[in-house]
Amino acid sequence: MRDLAWDGYLNARDLGGLPTPASTTGATIFGRVARGPRRELLTEAGWQDARRWGLATVVDLRCAYEIGPREGDPVVGTITPSAVSIVNAPTEDQDNAEFRKTCFPILDSPEYWRHNWRILPDLVLGALSAIAAAPTGVLIHCSAGRDRTGMISTLLLSNAGVDPSDVADDYAASVRAMAGAQTYSPTADRQAAWGPDEVTNWLARTVPIVEEIAAEPDASFDAIGAGPDLRMRLRALLTQWVRPAAT
């Protein structure tokens, strides 16, 4: 039920349906937040699928140079996407010297997540704030929908009280979905050539990292500079039928 069948759009999932004691329903609420890869992969029918799901806002985590259609993308009219609010909230500054030196060698691994919010906390905070301010029906995406999107999804789910093992399973689902898949990103993705053995070995290394991060949301949000009000609004987005108004 969490997998979203939006035409042309692999690796799309609803963040609802994951058990959490913080939820008024016993699980994160469906229809609030979805995760996926670059939106340029959506066909016209895919945009209509997303609108039927309730899509109102896209929070795009990519840098400006990554945005836009590329060779091989479906041709889509302007009417359907224009009905959705697009918010660009990049989590990376790839011109930042420390980010380049520290994170570029590990950008496809959750090893870089803590470095990202240590070096560029304001950018990660901006992405979280954009999600909290958006109307219900939010799609968060980057390029493959695996790394930056995985980082933000891990923060959202752990803040909502989802068990670290379930958070890590959500990350692993994206690794499996994108292995061997070409997203026509402007940057190379070695995982696009991976088969089952590479995926299994990779997850054995990286799932424990995600679980460790998901087990300590207080430390993560403190490092980012996200205060109690923002955390409460993000938690309510996934767990409460009535969300507090943004302030």
Cβ-in-10-Å burial (0-12, 13-18, 19+) of 147 comes to: buried
Q: Which of 20, 65, 73 is nearest to 46 (CA)?
A: 73
Query: What's the whole-number mean pLDDT along residues 218-235?
Result: 97
Give me the chain's average pLDDT, please: 94
For residue 33, what are the β-bridge partners?
Answer: 138
- Across residues 209-235, what is the average pLDDT? 98
Give the separation between CA 73 and CA 109, rounded to whole angstroms: 26
pLDDT band with cut points at 50, 70 and 90 for residue 186: confident
Type of residue at 140 = I
Model pLDDT for residues 61-114, shown as the tens digit of each residue:
999 999 999 988 998 876 667 789 999 999 999 999 999 999 999 999 999 999
The Cα 229–Cα 59 span in angstroms is 20
What domains does the chain contain, in order, with CATH numbers?
A: 13-239 (3.90.190.10)
Per-residue model confidence (pLDDT) at position 99: 98
SS percent in the chain: helix, strand, coil, step 5: 50, 10, 40
Q: Report whether pLDDT(17) > 90.
A: yes
Contacts of 25 (CB under 8 A, 6+ apart): 239, 241
Beta strand extents in the chain (DSSP E only)? 13-14, 33-36, 57-60, 85-88, 138-141
Residue 244 confidence (pLDDT): 60
The reported pTM is 0.95
Tokens representing 245 are: 């108004």
Cα–Cα distances (Å) from 244 to 6, 77, 135, 160, 235, in that order, read 29, 35, 12, 15, 10
Q: Residue 245: what pLDDT?
A: 62
For the stretch 52-79, what's the b/e string if a residue is b when 16 or more beta carbons lie within 10 angstroms of its beta carbon? Answer: ebebbbbbbbbbeebbeeeeebbebeee
- DSSP per-residue letters across 178-194: HTT-----SS--GGGG-
**Position 227 pLDDT exceeds 60:** yes
Residue 217: closest CA among 148, 155, 128, 133:
155
Please give the Cα distance from 197 to 223 (Å, whole number).
Answer: 35
Polymer length of the chain: 247
Max CA separation in the chain (angstroms): 48
Distances (CA, A) of 107 to 26, 44, 102, 116, 146: 34, 31, 9, 10, 11
Above 70 in pLDDT, residue 246? no
Write out pLDDT tens, residues 21-34.
877 779 999 999 99
